[in-house]
Amino acid sequence: MDIRGLTALITGGASGLGAGAARVLSEAGARCALLDRNVDLAREVAAEIDGLALACDVVDTASIETALAAASAELGVPRIVLNAAGIDVAIRTAGPKGPHSLAEFERVLRVNLTGTFNVARLAAQAMTAEPPLNEDGERGVIVNIASVVAEDGPIGQVAYAASKAGVQGMTLPMARDLAPFGIRVVTVAPGMFETPLASGIPQSWIDAIIPTVPFPRRWGNPLEFGALVRQICENPMLNGEMIRIDGAIRMGIEHS
């Protein structure tokens, strides 16, 4: 898909991986709508890339509908959707501090899994009404973010892993559902990327984990993540799968 001139809707676009992808896609000619619950920060990124900042909470359907309508009116119906809004907690299932808070478990699921699905379903519906963009009949692409934690399952990540395994699990059926409309669905599973979310991880754990990245032995940069998102948009054969971008890390049991 030639992304020049297309609208990219990016949730969580104010920060980290979403902002990194917005910079790459905008450099490649896409017009980016940055949806975030932190709209002030989204405005700062939007000002840099000549994009559009919109307040949106992905757990709130009305707020997604309003932001999608505003992005479509201002920039055109999004043909690229990147679900990058996400949160993490580090809590064990049970132990001296008591059982895992059910409210926290549900909060992580609501943002990471239900929020991703809610944006995907509404944006996909809007795309289905648009004309195809090329002779393959392509109408657009939805890129979701899981995590290597979905597969590696470190300690204290039960809620986060469940949410991200859910995103991984949605990938193939969603791609199959949307194939008749020429809409692809790809999930990216990042390893360790240097973002504000990752800065919440205790330093002792970071000191232990980064040396276990086989190569390159360092944090990933959000622009490297953005480069993969660009390739996913441009390469029509990428569909219905989860791609790890992780320097070959396989996490051990410790996380928190």
Ligand X SMILES: NC(=O)c1ccc[n+]([C@@H]2O[C@H](COP(=O)([O-])OP(=O)(O)OC[C@H]3O[C@@H](n4cnc5c(N)ncnc54)[C@H](O)[C@@H]3O)[C@@H](O)[C@H]2O)c1
Catalytic residue from among 58, 148, 160, 174: 160
| Least CB distance to ligand X at residue 36 (A) | 5
Q: Tally the C-alpha atoms within 13 A of residue 215's C-alpha that lie toward its C-beta.
A: 0
Sole binder of ligand X in the list 16, 153, 156, 247 (CB under 6 A): 16
Closest C-alpha to 225, from 9, 50, 15: 15
| Least CB distance to ligand X at residue 189 (A) | 7
Work out whether 58 is an interface residue with ligand X (CB under 6 A).
yes
Site string for ligand X, 165-194 (x = CB under 6 A): -------------------------x-xx-
Strands, sheet with 80-83, edge to edge from the N-terminal-most edge strand: 52-55, 31-36, 7-11, 80-83, 140-145, 183-190, 242-245
| Least CB distance to ligand X at residue 118 (A) | 10
Q: Which of residues 143-162 bind ligand X (CB under 6 A)?
A: 145, 147
| Least CB distance to ligand X at residue 133 (A) | 27
Q: With respect to ligand X, which residue has the nearer C-beta, 15 or 26?
A: 15
Applying CB under 6 A, which part among 9-17, 70-78, 97-105, 205-213 lies near ligand X? 9-17
Question: Which pairing describes strands 242-245 and 52-55: parallel, antiparallel, or unpaired?
Answer: unpaired
Is 160 known to be catalytic? Answer: yes
Q: Is the bond preceding residue 196 a cis peptide, omega within 30 degrees?
A: no
**If you write DSSP's letter for every residue of the chain in order, what string do you get?**
---TT-EEEEETTTSHHHHHHHHHHHHTTPEEEEEES-HHHHHHHHHHHT-EEEE--TT-HHHHHHHHHHHHHHH-S-SEEEE-------B-SSSTT-SPPHHHHHHHIIIIIIHHHHHHHHHHHHHHTSPPSSTT---EEEEEE--THHHH--TTBHHHHHHHHHHHHHHHHHHHHHGGGTEEEEEEEE-SB-STTGGGS-HHHHHHHGGG--SS-SPBPHHHHHHHHHHHHH-TT--S-EEEESTT----S---
Q: With respect to ligand X, which residue has the nearer C-beta, 133 or 206?
A: 206
Work out whether 17 is an interface residue with ligand X (CB under 6 A).
yes
| Least CB distance to ligand X at residue 78 (A) | 16
Number of residues engaging ligand X in binding (CB under 6 A): 31
Site string for ligand X, 190-219 (x = CB under 6 A): x-xx-xxxx---------------------
Work out whether 255 is an interface residue with ligand X (CB under 6 A).
no
Work out whether 78 is an interface residue with ligand X (CB under 6 A).
no
Q: Which of residues 81-110 bind ligand X (CB under 6 A)?
A: 84-88
Q: With respect to ligand X, which residue has the nearer C-beta, 126 or 161?
A: 161
* Residue ranges binding ligand X (CB under 6 A): 11-12, 14-18, 36-38, 56-59, 84-88, 111-112, 115, 145, 147, 190, 192-193, 195-198
Enzyme catalytic residues: 160
